[in-house]
Structure 1
């Protein structure tokens, strides 16, 4: 396939195409579900389909903020208090008053912002120091490219989770 533009343009297009593919699989697992079904736990985990959509939205927004503002964007995500842990768990649930349609619309909005930023980033090699967290190596820096790859990985991983949850819910399969 012939491409126009620079190698960086082609790389951005490849990254965005892969992210779009995994977003599709994640969204597809929620097809034809009611809000009640999207909020139902079907496995031993706390995960729900609506909650995974909410979590993927938060992941994209947090990493876009990191790319724009650096580690200061993650200032509030450090120590887990009891309240912080409860709030973290709620991102994996459809809460009263929340709808699957609303979660999907919010996800589409976050995805659009991510895509726009990836297209506009001046340099995929530009790196930011990661915040001091136990799950990051001390002093580690991630390039914009690595952040985008991380978002792709998270989305793909959660698409697999969603496929299992959906199959447990009603036997429907999304990825096989």
Structure 2
């Protein structure tokens, strides 16, 4: 008989903090139409729906990293791979044909549930993995599961702030204050 993993206080705190900031981000798009979700009312290329999509994709890539797959956080090794990765990165910040705000939010819920399952099951938050070679990582650096969670919290909080500014510009709605 196997038992479900028990969340430690630290894991609970980290996951709860991540969930809080996911909630702030999700709150910024509450009541927006798909047209408003792709609006870019500032000089930035960012839009509310694209920010949620990017944060969801980023979280998914880092949770794959925690499972031993660094493909989503590394740098391609060929020129063609770099061009494709750049296109994929840019597309993370927009809703593509066939994508709706509702579909992106549903996928974000799936990624959040996956994150919670993976973090509950990892043997230790101290387990670390080598970061792939990329200019944005220190050569030879390793990140623990704990460091990945802290990164996810910071990224989600930062982009929730971006989304809040954009939402206020769209319709005057203040979502975080």
On whether the aligned pair clears a TM of 0.5, the verdict is yes
What corresponds to 1:30 in structure 2? 29
Distance 1:135 1:87 in 2: 18
Distance 2:89 2:106 in 1: 21
- Give the 3-state SS of the residue equivalent to 2:70 in structure 1: helix
The answer to whether the Cα contact below 8 Å between 1:70 and 1:128 also exists between their aligned partners in 2 is no
Aligned in 2, Cα 1:90/1:18: closer, same or farther, shift over 3 Å? same
Aligned in 2, Cα 1:100/1:143: closer, same or farther, shift over 3 Å? same
The answer to whether the Cα contact below 8 Å between 1:51 and 1:94 also exists between their aligned partners in 2 is yes
10-19 vs 87-96, greater mean Cα deviation: 87-96
Aligned in 2, Cα 1:135/1:31: closer, same or farther, shift over 3 Å? same
1:96 Cα deviation from its structure 2 partner? 1.8
- Give the 3-state SS of the residue equivalent to 2:68 in structure 1: helix
1:167 Cα deviation from its structure 2 partner? 0.5
What corresponds to 2:59 in structure 1? 60
What corresponds to 2:164 in structure 1? 163
The answer to whether the Cα contact below 8 Å between 2:131 and 2:143 also exists between their aligned partners in 1 is yes
Aligned-CA RMSD value: 1.8
Distance 1:20 1:77 in 2: 31
What corresponds to 1:17 in structure 2? 16
What corresponds to 1:86 in structure 2? 87
Q: Deviations over 1:99-152 (max 9, x none)?
A: 000000000000110011111111100110100000000000000000011001
What corresponds to 1:69 in structure 2? 68
The gaps in structure 1 that reach 5 residues or longer are: 1-5
- Give the 3-state SS of the residue equivalent to 1:71 in structure 2: coil
Aligned in 2, Cα 1:58/1:77: closer, same or farther, shift over 3 Å? farther
1:147 paired with 2:161, answer no
Distance 2:46 2:76 in 1: 20
- Give the 3-state SS of the residue equivalent to 1:86 in structure 2: helix
1:74 Cα deviation from its structure 2 partner? 4.0
The gaps in structure 2 that reach 5 residues or longer are: 1-5
